[in-house]
Structure 1
Amino acid sequence: MYRVKVPATTANLGPGFDILGMALDLYNIIEVKETDRGLNIDIEGLGAKELPTDKSNLVYQTMDYLFDKADYRPAGLDIKLINQIPIARGLGSSATIIVGGLVLANTLAGTPFSNDQLLNFAAEIEGHPDNVAPALLGGVVISVITDQEEIIYKKIKAPELKTVVGIPDFKLSTTEAREVLPAQVTFNDAVFNCSRVGLLVSAFMTEDYDLLATCFEDRLHQSYRQDLVPGMGEVIKEAKDDGALAIALSGAGPSIVALTLENEVEVGETIVRVFAQHGIKANYKVAEPNSTGVIVENL
């Protein structure tokens, strides 16, 4: 039996739309064992009652995708998912399943594919690399899709900061969050974001965290998505007032991610309180950036 432990991710980090992602020490776990009796899927934890346990399950479909590429076909599989990452909250839950399924299938097939190949497979399935790259590799990952549809990436050290994740009690699909984005943006807004992405990478690499408040500013997606997350603007403002170095929508949302050196409990409680003022129940988790990415074990 093999087990993978795959970290949650927070994508974009403000201005790095579809470019930047960071792994967090919140995890989904997947276990698999080859059998001779077809498919069996058990699910524990978050989403256990709503996720399918047949061949339409994402982890099976992902594994089947790789088995086809590897020309490998197990007689049967016992799969167990232990879900600890909230679904459709902007924390990369689907990316963990895709990465975990690919790594497990690759292991069962005798490891015919490299991590670079797995990343390209994952981005093809997910549609973009910003979540799957840090889930696979850990740390902060900058990803670029070439004209040949290949992923070029660079992993940099994650910041030594606390991450406060505010998690509203409602789902927001990536598809819905993308539908509100404009087909075009202004030249000035493009320059605004490019400058802040460059500064953000530099701030992480040099540990100049005083720059983060400016680095997390964005004009490409957050303002357009604000109406989908009631109270988002006030959450961001008040969390900064209470000590967050930087704060932004996590991926497509609705979760909010804040970086802080201290006051993480105060920042978390502020996020929950302001959401409540807008009629949104929320909770928060304090996490740290994950540097290792996916871990596979032979049990």
Structure 2
Amino acid sequence: MRISVPATSANLGPGFDCLGLAVSLKNQVVIRPSKFHSVSLKGEGANNPALKDNNMFISIFNDFYHNLSNKKRFFRFEFFNEIPLSRGLGSSSAVIVSAIASAYAIEGIELERDKLLNLALAYESHPDNITPAVMGGFNVATVQDNEVKYINKHMPRSLKAVIVVPNRPISTQLSRKTLPFKYSKEDTVFNISHSSLLTAAFMSENWEMLKYASQDMVHQKYRMKHMPELFDVQKTALKNGALMSTLSGSGSTLFSIAYNQEANKLEQALKAKFPHFRVFTLDFDNQGVKIEI
């Protein structure tokens, strides 16, 4: 069995903990019957032995598999990771979603995506990453009565994602600690209005509105202070064709959207100015989690 889950970019500026979308960078896991437990890891994290020994995927998979089956079986897990670790691209959400979905698939139990999403919520309380990981596309999501309530929209082929991955992470735990304990009414209203406008822009495909709607007063400026060059990355992106440019999740990745015809120019401008960072262009992913048996 092969399972793949896309990378995600969450928050999207003002949509703190509620807006997110999926891009075509994927983590894949191949699971095979085996006479004994074994693990192989290629791609991102392959040089980190701790990821094999303390593997979150296997821990979650085993929890669900043992609850679903009375059998004692061994598997070989082959991980092919494209999603950078600890860079704000949803690598943890990809692990959670793929582990749960594969446990059900191996037992031949149909698992609806809505149920998968709510099972994943127990491991990731913020729905802005797990929802696009499961559903693909652009998503507006919130949690009510321990269930994810969401609206999903496919992203068009006329747009590309341009990603800048710095050479070091920003700790999610540390970055959350730097956020203010209280916000002014003005900043709160600013973000409510801009996240509403950003959602409307995505749903109506009014892409020219993204630059205005994606502004934020709640989290980006506080988090980006841990890596001040990100302000320059964002400014450079907006000057070179980006329709919007926002911190991806809690960082340190910067995520931008551009029209197809502008994406290469934007990528080259960012590569020229920030040669020590990884810069690449991606399509958007509208499939979400995918299982092949």
TM-score (norm 2): 0.93
**Cα deviation 1:108-162 (Å, max 9, x = unaligned):** 123254322211121221232211111111111111111x222111111224411
In structure 2, stretches of 5+ residues that fail to align are: none
> For the residues of structure 2 that align with 1:182 and 1:72, how far apart are their CA atoms?
49
What residue is the counterpart of 2:114 in the other structure? 116
CA contact (8 A) 2:141 2:149 kept: yes
Structure 1 293/72 Cα, relative in aligned 2: closer, same or farther at 3 Å? farther
> Is residue 155 from structure 1 mapped to residue 152 from structure 2 by the alignment?
yes
What residue is the counterpart of 2:176 in the other structure? 178
> For the residues of structure 1 that align with 2:72 and 2:137, how far apart are their CA atoms?
33
Structure 1 117/229 Cα, relative in aligned 2: closer, same or farther at 3 Å? same
Structure 1 156/74 Cα, relative in aligned 2: closer, same or farther at 3 Å? farther
In structure 1, stretches of 5+ residues that fail to align are: none
CA deviation after TM superposition for structure 1 residue 91, in Å: 0.8
CA deviation after TM superposition for structure 1 residue 102, in Å: 1.1
Q: How many percent identity over aligned positions?
A: 32
What residue is the counterpart of 1:134 in the other structure? 132
Query: Which residue among 45, 48, 67 is the counterpart of 1:47?
Result: 45
Structure 1 94/72 Cα, relative in aligned 2: closer, same or farther at 3 Å? farther
What residue is the counterpart of 1:98 in the other structure? 96
CA contact (8 A) 1:72 1:109 kept: no
**Cα deviation 1:45-75 (Å, max 9, x = unaligned):** 1111215365620110121232254355542
Q: Secondary structure at the match of 1:28?
A: strand
Query: Which residue among 277, 281, 287 is the counterpart of 1:286?
Result: 281
Structure 1 22/73 Cα, relative in aligned 2: closer, same or farther at 3 Å? farther
Structure 1 55/65 Cα, relative in aligned 2: closer, same or farther at 3 Å? farther
> Is residue 164 from structure 1 mapped to residue 162 from structure 2 by the alignment?
yes
CA deviation after TM superposition for structure 1 residue 292, in Å: 0.7
What residue is the counterpart of 2:257 in the other structure? 259
TM-score (norm 1): 0.91
CA contact (8 A) 1:231 1:275 kept: no
Q: Which structure 2 residues correspond to residues 187-202 of structure 1 after superposition, within 5 A? A: 187-202=185-200
CA deviation after TM superposition for structure 1 residue 266, in Å: 2.6
Q: Secondary structure at the match of 2:225?
A: helix
Structure 1 157/6 Cα, relative in aligned 2: closer, same or farther at 3 Å? same
CA contact (8 A) 2:3 2:102 kept: yes
CA contact (8 A) 1:157 1:204 kept: no
CA contact (8 A) 1:47 1:87 kept: yes
CA contact (8 A) 1:10 1:23 kept: yes
Q: Secondary structure at the match of 1:23?
A: strand
> For the residues of structure 1 that align with 2:163 and 2:53, how far apart are their CA atoms?
32
> For the residues of structure 1 that align with 2:230 and 2:149, how far apart are their CA atoms?
33
Query: Which residue among 207, 211, 218 is the counterpart of 1:220?
Result: 218
Corresponding pairs, count: 291
Structure 1 90/96 Cα, relative in aligned 2: closer, same or farther at 3 Å? same
CA deviation after TM superposition for structure 1 residue 271, in Å: 3.0
Please say which of residues 28-37 and 204-213 is displaced more in the overlay. Answer: 28-37
What residue is the counterpart of 1:11 in the other structure? 10
What residue is the counterpart of 1:24 in the other structure? 23
Structure 1 174/235 Cα, relative in aligned 2: closer, same or farther at 3 Å? same
Amino acid paired to 2:198: L
